[in-house]
């Protein structure tokens, strides 16, 4: 039987972080309940007989939901879908909104992976980007989560003001000491319409420049590889067998259903995007597009070259990438590595991936 992954979006946050461009917001109790009802209806309405191999509850801040609220959502899911017993089931959490009771509840609901939004372990840095936790709360959250879950991931942001590669390695070391198996390292992006963008314009905030950011990232990456982590995707590092199965499904273009405001689904080369505002979402409004053959090839190249799995040339249909004007140069310079029918981007050039990939597209 065909398999599928499921993503559920919980858009609520206690407060908006200064850099955040996600569809997340502070909601009152009434908005929250209205949304949760619409979400449960959508889960039921889009029922499929495909078997679910991974579930990911992300946000926003899913850990903002109390035990009963999360239990109701998971119950609707299990009542309506066939789910593998060993399905990977991840929930995202912020350090300031988890507690022992919630962790126990997640465990009882078959959650088996927790992703913690740590971002930094420097109190001044955390405050400067509007995070609600400090180092002490973050460490406590990691230790508490590890008490209940083997598979814990932590996020870090690279490029924050005054944060050196050495700082990032010391944060990673705190994670590793506590048995964290997966670390996601995201480059800071300053999006227009964020408070951080305004702060940068007024010179109140100075992110690292590109060269400093790349240097910090490389230092962190070397450190993690040295500690036995594999860089299995451009921003993601895992100990053996702890790669995120859910994210690997995205990167290998597996089908998935996304529930909630702004959530995306991908089924049989069709992309569906739910409405981005509460009102339209509740009415079930979405947009849909079918990918053209050119778009499919572009996606295969873009996703594959960002991952250790690379791009199998036989998947590129009519596009002969070996005839691309840049291809042979990239191979001879060692930027691209070709093994049999698969090409990989040399991790030493990951920081140039955007340019390299766009040069290789049809
Ligand atoms: S907790 Fe995450 S989703 Fe919420 S505002 Fe901060 S960065 Fe955005």
* Pocket residue to mutate for ligand 1, from 12, 21, 24, most atoms within 8 A of Cβ: 24
Q: Which residues of 101-136 are buried (b: 16+ CB within 10 A; e: fewer)?
A: ebbebbeebebbbbbbbbbbbbeebbebbbbbbbbe
Residues 105-132 have pLDDT tens digits of 999 999 999 999 999 999 999 999 999 9
| CA 358 to ligand 1 centroid distance, Å | 30
Superfamily grouping for domain 3-251: Aldolase class I (3.20.20.70)
Task: Quote the pLDDT of residue 300.
Answer: 96
The C-alpha R_g of the chain, in whole angstroms, comes to 21
Query: Which residue ranges make up each domain of the chain?
Result: 3-251, 310-362
Residues 223-270 have pLDDT tens digits of 999 999 999 999 999 999 999 999 999 999 999 999 999 999 999 999
| CA 23 to ligand 1 centroid distance, Å | 9
Q: Which tokens in the block code for residue 91?
A: 């929930």
* Pocket residue to mutate for ligand 1, from 9, 10, 15, 16, most atoms within 8 A of Cβ: 16
| CA 119 to ligand 1 centroid distance, Å | 11
Q: Decide if 27 contacts 35 (C-beta within 8 A).
A: yes
Determine the Cα angle at 291 with ends 284 and 186, to 5°. Answer: 80
| CA 20 to ligand 1 centroid distance, Å | 6
Q: What is the DSSP string of 222-241?
A: HHHHHTT-EEEETTEEE-TT
Task: Quote the pLDDT of residue 251.
Answer: 95
Atom 2, ligand 1: which residue's CA is nearest? Answer: 60
* Residue ranges of the chain with per-residue pLDDT less than 70: none
Nearest to 347 by CA among 231, 212, 269: 231
């Amino acid at each position: 039987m065909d398999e599928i992954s499921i993503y559920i979006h919980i858009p609520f946050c206690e407060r908006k972080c200064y850099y955040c461009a996600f569809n997340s917001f502070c909601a009152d109790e009434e908005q929250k309940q209205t949304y949760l009802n619409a979400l449960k209806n959508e889960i039921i309405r889009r029922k499929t007989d495909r078997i679910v191999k991974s579930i990911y509850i992300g946000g926003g801040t899913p850990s903002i939901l109390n035990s009963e609220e999360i239990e109701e959502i998971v119950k609707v899911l299990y009542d309506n879908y066939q789910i593998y017993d060993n399905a990977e089931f991840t929930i995202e959490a912020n350090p300031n909104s988890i507690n022992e009771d919630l962790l126990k509840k997640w465990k009882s609901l078959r959650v088996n992976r927790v992703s913690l939004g740590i971002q930094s372990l420097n109190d001044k840095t955390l405050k400067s980007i509007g995070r609600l936790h400090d180092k002490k709360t973050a460490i406590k959250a990691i230790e508490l989560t590890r008490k209940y879950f083997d598979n814990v991931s932590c996020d870090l942001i690279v490029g924050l003001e005054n944060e050196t590669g050495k700082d990032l390695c010391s944060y990673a070391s705190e994670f590793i000491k506590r048995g964290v198996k997966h670390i996601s390292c995201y480059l800071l992006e300053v999006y227009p319409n964020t408070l951080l963008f305004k702060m940068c314009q007024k010179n109140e905030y100075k992110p690292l420049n590109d060269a400093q950011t790349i240097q910090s990232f490389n230092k962190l990456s070397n450190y993690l590889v040295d500690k036995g982590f594999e860089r299995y995707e451009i921003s993601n590092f895992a100990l053996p067998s702890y790669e995120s199965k859910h994210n690997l499904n995205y990167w290998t273009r597996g089908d998935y259903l996304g529930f909630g405001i702004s959530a995306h689904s991908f089924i049989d080369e069709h992309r569906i995007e739910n409405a981005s505002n509460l009102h339209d979402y509740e009415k079930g409004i979405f947009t849909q597009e079918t990918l053209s053959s050119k778009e499919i090839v572009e996606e295969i190249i873009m996703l594959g070259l960002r991952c250790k799995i690379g791009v199998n040339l036989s998947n590129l249909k009519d596009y002969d990438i070996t005839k691309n004007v840049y291809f042979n140069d990239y191979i001879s310079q060692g930027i691209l590595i070709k093994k049999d029918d698969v090409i990989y981007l040399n991790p030493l050039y990951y920081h140039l991936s955007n340019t390299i990939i766009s040069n290789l597209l049809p």
